[in-house]
Structures are given as structure tokens and as C-alpha cells.
Amino acid sequence: MMGQHIVEVEGLSKSFVSFQAVKHISFQIEKGSVYGFLGQNGAGKSTTMRMLLSLIQPSSGKISIFGKPLKGNEKFILSNIGAIIEKPDTYGYLSGYDNLKIFSNIFGRSTSLVALDALLEKVGLKGRGKDKVKSYSQGMKQRLGIAIALLNEPAFIMLDEPTNGLDPQGITEIRNLIGHFSKNEGKTVLVSSHLLNEIEMVADSMIILHKGEKVAEGKVRKLLDPAKTLVSIETEDLQHSMSLIQESLWSKKLIAQNELKFEMEKEEIPLLVKFLVDQHVAVSNVQSNHSLENYFLKLTNS
Amino acid sequence: MSMRKLLEIELFKISKRPRTYISFAAISAIVLIFQFAFKADGENYMNLMLQGINDSFQLDKQHAMNGYFMCYIILNTLLVQVPILVALVAGDAISGEANMGTLRLILSKPISRTEILMAKFLASIMYTIILLIWMAFFSLILSLWIFGSGDMLVFRVAGEVSQIMQIAQDDIVWRYLAAFGYAAVALTVIVSLAIFFSLFAENSIGPIITTICIVLVFTIVSNMNIPVIDKNVKPFLFTSYLVGWKGFFYIATTEDGIPIKGSMENIQSIQSSLMILFAHIGALLLTSMYIFKRKDILS
Amino acid sequence: MNNVKIPTLLAISALFVLHASAQDVNSLIKKVKNKLDNIKKYEATGTMKTSIAYLKIPIAKVKIQYKKPNELAIKSNNGVTFLPKSVDAISLQKIFSNDFTAIDGGTEKVKQKILRVVRLLPTSQQSNIVLSTLYINEADLVVEKSSTTTKDEGTYEMDLQYGKYIQFGLPDRVTFTFNAKDYKIPKGLTLDFDNVYPKNQKIDKTMLNKGKAEIVFQQYAIN
């Protein structure tokens, strides 16, 4: 139903002089969900997000946010969006406080130190407000970017590659924050990434873009097929191992002629390894490709 | 979001950048050097300017080299270089934000592009006016303090004739106020030009250099004395009108050649120059707004 | 005998007339000079209007100081005043300070008056003055006009008007023209606004090399 969709995009295209960056994509984002944009670098994710923020004019298509067409309603729509596009760039020669004050003023929010400190604490930058942003680490700049995105308490948050350049702890924190926005605060979040794990872990629904085109869209769980885990096994005697597999039920899972490559459920991997070991086959290496990675690679390679 | 608030934000950002203060330091240094040089050896300059007259007239050169005269000399040189200093800030307006990556941040906020461009334009003008006030302090107030006051001599070439005009001491200050006002308008053309070029770049160097180059080339052409260029090219170059502030010091005279207090020789010329400058500002600003509104922000 | 006598008589008569005329001119000059010699010093305040094509300057308040025999100085309290250097050179006292031969030039109608024309030729080779032609008001024993040619500065012309100080031979108004070099500002120094000479101003090209100064004496403090 239309009322449940915070974003509706129909037939969106963008052509630049030398190439077409986005080709007739359509999607809808449900209110309160986390929506993933997945695609390789140059797939059109950032271009699409920029069009949603009115930074780029579409060549054709319609964009509707909060039930209103974007064109003509930019002020209302943008006042309810918080966004980080690509790197979270801020004014490096200013302090964290000064950066927040600038944007607080734009939104007509309080610029008191108490309010700014509360925000900085929320994103894990407590005590760093006075420092110039150019002295921040990449992770800290990311957090400041998020703080600025949250200043106006937006109903819709757009995060473009939010975990770029972060350490594992930082990545976890961002993931938790995204989950918190959606589950606890009821915000709608759009997250883009070329890292497949990220999308799988945070998104409820997603769209996969490849060379400006939509190649898939839907609920993440529905798109993921548990049966699509790709397993690759190395043994010390390939020929012997191949003949054993071909004579067993495991042959149905085999997807290569001259290699021990299988497509199976994740839970079946230890059973296969046990089978080989029981047949006195020395297993030297087991590799499993992520299901989504497999799916994504398959889609984008076709 | 009021324009006043946006303007405050822009001025705040300008004030926090070290490059802003280069201009103030440069002007102070240049003016102080001039004043030192004239204090030490100004008589030689006066002798140079008065060669040919010294045989027929005697003049108290120390009194002639008073603060008002000094300010005129300084402005003559400085107002050729100040466009460069103004371009340093104005040329950074949009391209600087693009370079820092903050342009997409600002434009994804609920402010119209017209408001942002106007705020940057007004902030650059305010910076220019503050720079002029600083210049006025150093070149006029300080010169008066060092060299004293008195009637002002204005040296001028009008067609084939060289002239020296003397303006009474009590008839000078309003002329300087008007001249600075005119200079503000003239420099606003530079601001508009620099901001216009700033739209097309993601790095400030390009717009700054382009603006400076255009001003230099146009100034050179404006100062050529070739009849074809005089008629067909010069009237259309804004640089032909940048030195129009001097018109406030070209005093009108009676038929006997006696200066008329409070008068200007060619007020229509100044008025038309101002109109041409305003037309340039309007055209550049409107074109900039048109382009900026439709520009895809890829930075 | 009669043929020789008449021309001789005529020649002798002419000599008498000439001598008498010369006596008359010398006597006139002496009277004019003596009148001026009675002034040991004076200080006058007044205004000076200088006209020359390349100077647009206001009327200056000046002080004129004279000390016998021929020290004449013009000063201004304003500070910025263009004072013609030649003022001193053409003062009457300076003219009369030279030894000269006076030649009667007859009379001429000048300014609705009949004035006696006397030409003074300095006898000294060192004198800067080559020739001075004075137009003298015989009744008042004052010079009303002069034209002085010098070796170095060309020819000056002076016009004098008298008022309440006529008894001292001191004028109320003196106008003199002088030669001046053409003036050109070194190129590139001015960066001018409009290169075209303004249409509402006329250039009197005859005044490019000639200046005129008009001094109005307001108050004399004599001796």
C-alpha cells in the first residue's frame, strides 16, 4: 500500500554526456525498514541516492518521498532526511562543535553546548567537540557525519557506504546503530554498500544494481537461497575423491567436472567433510562462498 | 532558514580560514611600504611628477605630499591588485565546498540553491567591504596621521593634455567616501565573476586563476591606446570602468580653470560606469543562479 | 650760404627737440621711480588667481612682501600653492634697478587712456632683461602696463590697476602673463578613468605654454 512506502521511485534514469549511469530503475522503501542498495563500485548507487536528495536532476522518472513528489517539495522532504553521501566530509578547519553548530543553525535547532555534547556522546565522540575535524580519525569523521545526519531527528536516513574505513569495532557499532534507528526509533534507513555482508546483516529489503540497472529487488531473506552455498574442497588425491563423490549421493551437489565444487546448504558442509574423511580421504582445505556473494556474483556476471 | 542566518554562517566560515587574512596582511604591508618609501624619498617622486613645472612654479612639496595625496597614490596602485585578493575568497565560494566535499552536505539540507548562492555572494561582498574599510584605514587615516592634511593634488592625463587639479582640504573626504563606495561596486563585479567560475570547478585554484587572468588581460586591453580597440572593444570590458572611482576626484572648473567646490567634472560618466558595473553584476549573478540551480552535484 | 643754413638749423632744432624729449622721458621715468623708491618696504595680503592650461587650482590667499631695493616675495599660508617663479623677475622695482637708456615711444591708447610709451634698454650686458616697454600714466606717475623681454624666460606682460594706493604707486590688481614649458605627466603613472577629454571642457591651446597670474592686493602695510 502506498501509505506504507516512504520512498517510491519509478522509471528513474540518469544520463551524463558520455554514459548512462542509471537506467530505468524502480523500487519502493517501506516505512520503518532498512533498505539495502547493493552493487559494485560504479553500479549507480550513489547516483541514485544523489537523485533522491535532489543533488542530481534525473533525466527521467519519478521520485516520491513521504508521499510527495520530490520536485517542488524539496524543502519539506530534505528537512526530514538525514544523509551521508560517499565520504562524511565536513569542514576540516572547524571543530566538531562548529560543524554541528552550522548545521544546527540550518535546521533551527539548539546550538547549546549541552545539546551538542549529547549528540556527540550518542555517536561516540564525547569530549572531542573542541578538536578540529582534520585531527579526527576516519572513524571519528564517520561518526560526526552521522551526528550531523541525525541533527534534525529525521524520519528517513540515507547512509552511503557507512562502514568504509572503519575498524571491526566501528563497523559493529554502525551496524548496531542502523538496527537501533529502525527497530527502536522507527526510522527508515537506506544503506548502500558494495560489501555484501553488510547488507545481509542489516537490511530487510534490498535492490541490487549492476551498471545502472536493477538486477534484483526484494526481501533479503527471499533473495537469499540457503541452498546456494558454494563449497570448494581440496584433497590430496583428487581423482580418488572425485570417483568417491560420483558414486555417492553427493554427486547431485557437484557443480564442476574436474574440481570438488559443490552447491549445497551451509549445514551440509561438515557432513560432506565427514564423508570424505570416513573414506580415508585427506582433506586439506574447505572453502565456502557466502550465499549472497554467490548470488550477487552470479547476477552481476551474467 | 533566514538569509541573515545563512549569511552569518558564511561569514563565520570565511573568518575561520587563514587565507582570509592574507589579504589584510598584504594590504597592510603594501601600504606601509608605500608610506615608508614616500616618507624617506617622496620628494623625488614629486619632482618626477612635476618635471617641467618646477621651472615655472614653486611648490611646497612637503605640504603637497599630505595624507590625502598619499592615499590617492596608494589607491591608484592597490585597487589594481585588490581584485586578486577578492578573487581569493570569492573564487572559493562553491568550488571550495566542492573540494572539501561539503557542497553535497549543504545542498542536501532544506535550503534552496538560490539562498545558498545569494548568501555566499553577500558574504563575499561583505568581506570585500571590510577589506576596503581596512584599506581606507591604512591608506587614508594612517597617511593623514603620518603626512598631515592639506589640499590635494590630482595628476591626470586627459586626452593629449596632462593636468594637475587641486582640491580644497574641506572638499576631499566625501570624495573618498564616494570613491570607496564605487570601488565596492567595482569589486563586486570581480566577486560575481569569481563566483561564476567557482560553479564549474571542484578546486578553488581554477576559478581564482581564471578570474585573475581575465582581469589582467582585460585591464591590459583597456589600457591600450589603439583607435579600433578604443571604439569597438573597450566600452564592453568591465575593466574599463574599474578605475572609475577616480572620477570623483576630477573636479569641475569655471571657464577660468578655478575648481568648483563640491563638483565633479563628468558625473554622467560615473553614473553610466556604475550602471554598466551593476549590469555586469546582475548578468553574472542571474547566470550563476540559473546554472547552479540546474547543476548536478557530483562532488 | 642760405642752402647750408636751413638744413643746419633744422638739424640743430631736431637735436634740441630730441634732447628735450629725451630729457622729458628720463624725467618721467625718474619721477615714477622716485615715487616707488619712497617705499622702503611693504607687506600686502591678497589673492592670486593662476591660469594655465594644465593647472586647475583655486584662487590662493597670498602675502606679498617687498623690501627695498628690489626684494619681492610671494608666500602662501595654504601650504599647497603654485607660485609663479617669474613674479620677482618682472617687478617694476627690479626693472628700475637696472641701469638703462630710456627711449620715448610716443603715446598709445590703452584701456581708454592715453599712456606714454617708454622703452627701457638696460645698459649692462649682464642684465637678464633685454627690453622693457612701459606704458605710463603721466598724470598719476604710475605704470599701467609693461612688456618685458628677458634672456632666459621670454617675454612677460604685466597689467596694473590702481586704486586707493595710487599715491604710493602701488597697484590694487596686477595681471601678468608668463611663458611656461609644456607639461606632460610621465606615461603609465596615472591609469586614468576616461582617456577622452571631457566634452564639457574646452582647451585653450594658446594657453598651453602661457600662464597668467592675477594678484589682487587687499591690504598694504607700507613702510
Reported as a single tens digit per residue, the pLDDT across C139-156 is 999 999 999 888 877 888
pLDDT of residue C14: 60
Subunit contact B52:C58, Cβ cutoff 8 A: no
What is residue B179's predicted lDDT score, i.e. its pLDDT?
95
Mutate to test the interface with C, among B56, B153, B164, B253 (most CBs of C within 10 A): B56
Instruction: Give chains near C: 3+ CB pairs under 8 A.
Output: B
Query: In this structure, what DSSP letter does residue B253 have?
Result: B
Where do the domains of chain C lie, and which CATH numbers do they carry?
A: 2-222 (2.50.20)
pLDDT-based confidence at residue B173 (cuts at 50, 70, 90): very high
Cβ pair A107:B17 closer than 8 A: no
* pLDDT tens per residue across span B252-299: 999 888 999 999 998 999 999 999 999 999 999 999 999 999 999 998
* Same fold across A2-223 and A226-301: no
pLDDT at residue C143, as a whole number: 93
Q: In angstroms, what separates the C-alpha of A83 from chain B's closest C-alpha?
A: 8
* Each residue's pLDDT tens digit, A41-82: 888 999 999 999 999 999 999 999 999 999 999 999 999 999
Domain that holds residue B135: 3-294
pTM of the model: 0.82
User: Is A272's pLDDT higher than 80?
Assistant: yes
Kindly indicate whether the domain formed by A226-301 is annotated with CATH number 3.40.640: no
Contacts of C178 in chain B (CB under 8 A): 56
Show the beta-strand stretches assigned E in chain B. Answer: 57-58, 152-158, 161-167
Give the per-residue pLDDT at A223.
Answer: 72
Per-residue pLDDT band at A274 (split at 50, 70, 90): very high
Tell me, yes or no, if B5 comes closer than 8 A to chain A by beta carbon: yes
Interval B123-144: pLDDT, tens: 999 999 999 999 999 999 999 9
B211 — pLDDT class (breaks 50, 70, 90) = very high
The answer to whether position B207 is within a domain reads: yes
- In chain C, what's the furthest Cα-to-Cα distance? 87
Closest-CA distance of chain C to residue B260, Å: 8
Question: Which strands form B161-167's sheet, in the order they lie side by side?
Answer: B152-158, B161-167, C55-56
Model confidence band, residue C4 (pLDDT cutoffs 50, 70, 90)? low
**Contact list, B109 vs chain A (CB under 8 Å):** 78-79, 103, 106-107
B252: distance to nearest CA of chain C, Å?
9
- Using 50, 70 and 90 to split pLDDT, how confident is the model at B94? very high
Domain positions in chain A: 2-223, 226-301
What single string gives the DSSP state of each residue in B161-189?
EEEEEEE-GGGSHHHHHHHHHHHHHHHHH
Closest CB to B265 among C58, C84, C198: C198
How many beta-carbon pairs below 8 A join chains B and C?
Answer: 149
Predicted local distance difference test score (pLDDT) of residue C16: 58
**Would the pLDDT of A244 be above 70?**
yes
CA B65, CA C80: separation in Å to the nearest integer? 9
Q: Does C73 touch chain B (CB under 8 A)?
A: no
Which among A91, A87, A85, A84 has a CA at the least distance from the CA of A135? A91
Domain count, chain B: 1
Q: For residue B157, which residues of chain C lie inside 8 Å, CB to CB?
A: 185, 190, 192, 195
State which residue of chain B sits closest to C180, comparing Cα positions: B56
Chain B hits for C81, Cβ within 8 Å: 59-60
Average pLDDT of the residues in C195-218: 67
HSE value, Cβ hemisphere, 13 Å, CA-based, for B211? 33
Comparison of pLDDT for C88 and A49, the residue scoring more: A49
Q: Which of A78, A89, A92 sits opposite B109 (nearest CB)?
A: A78
Chains C and A touch, using 3 or more CB pairs below 8 Å: no
Average pLDDT score over residue span A132-140: 90
pLDDT for C89:
59
Q: CA of B131 to nearest chain C CA: how many angstroms apart?
A: 22
Q: Name the minimum distance, in Å, from the CA of B152 to any CA of chain C.
A: 8
Among the partner residues B17, B112, B294, nearest to A93 by beta-carbon distance: B17
A47-61, B243-257, C169-183: range with highest mean pLDDT:
A47-61
Query: 3-state class of C193 per DSSP?
Result: coil
Collect all residues from A whose CB is shorter than 8 A from any CB in B. 16, 50, 53-57, 74-76, 78-79, 81, 83, 85-87, 89-94, 98, 102-103, 105-108, 148
Can chain B be said to touch chain A, i.e. do they have 3 or more Cβ pairs within 8 angstroms?
yes
pLDDT greater than 70 at residue A291: no
Instruction: Judge contact between A214 and A26, C-beta under 8 A.
Output: yes
| Chains interfacing with A (3 or more CB pairs < 8 Å) | B
The pLDDT-based confidence of B156 (bands split at 50, 70, 90) is confident
What pLDDT, on a 0 to 100 scale, did the predictor assign at position C199?
47
**Do the chains contact at B266 and C180, CB–CB below 8 Å?**
no
Say yes or no to pLDDT of B229 above 60: yes
Closest CA to C70 of C123, C101, C33, C116: C33
Mean of the per-residue pLDDT values of chain A? 88
Residue A218 vs residue B72, higher pLDDT: B72
- Coil, strand or helix at A300: helix
pLDDT category at B117 given cuts 50, 70, 90 is very high
Q: Is the Cβ pair C85, B56 closer than 8 Å?
A: yes
Closest Cα in chain B to A53: B108
Which residues from chain C sit within 8 angstroms of residue B243, using beta carbons?
191-193
Mean pLDDT of B200-220: 93
pLDDT of A2 reads 41
Question: What pLDDT score does A155 carry?
Answer: 94
| Any domain includes B299 | no
So what's the pLDDT on residue B2?
83
In angstroms, the CA C217 to CA C169 distance is 13
Segment C9-21 mean pLDDT: 60
| pLDDT reading at C1 higher than 60 | no
Q: How far is C41 from chain B (nearest CA, A)?
A: 23
The whole-number pLDDT of residue A230 equals 80
What is the chain B residue with the closest CA to A72?
Answer: B112
Q: Which three cell numbers stand for residue C222?
A: 607700507
Cβ within 8 Å, pair B109-A56? no
Q: Is B17 on the interface with A (CB under 8 A)?
A: yes
What's the pLDDT band for A143 if we cut at 50, 70, 90? confident
pLDDT given at position C201: 53
Most confident listed range (A148-157, B68-77, B277-286, C207-216): B277-286
Confidence of residue A270 (pLDDT cuts 50, 70, 90): very high
Confidence at residue C11, expressed as pLDDT on a 0 to 100 scale: 64
CA distances from B201 to A56, B188, B205 (A): 16, 20, 9
The verdict on a CB contact (< 8 Å) between C80 and B150 is: yes
- Of A14-23, C136-145, C184-193, the poorest mean pLDDT is in C184-193
B157–C192 C-beta distance less than 8 A: yes
As a whole number, the mean pLDDT across chain C is 80
Q: What is the mean pLDDT of residues B28-51?
A: 89
Helix axes B173-198, B205-222, angle to 10 degrees: 130
pLDDT of residue C12: 64
C196 three-state secondary structure: coil
pLDDT at C196: 43
Comparing CA positions, the residue from C48, C165, C37 lying closest to residue C95 is C37
**Percent of chain C clearing pLDDT 70 (strictly above):** 78
CATH of A2-223, one of 3.40.50.720, 3.40.50.300, 3.10.20.740, 3.30.420.40: 3.40.50.300
Cross-chain CB nearest to B102 (options A83, A91, A108)? A91
| Beta carbons of B109 and A54 less than 8 Å apart | no
Q: What is the reported pLDDT for B98?
A: 94
* Cα–Cα distance measured from residue A98 to residue A84, given in angstroms and rounded to the nearest whole number: 18
Q: ipTM of the assembly?
A: 0.82
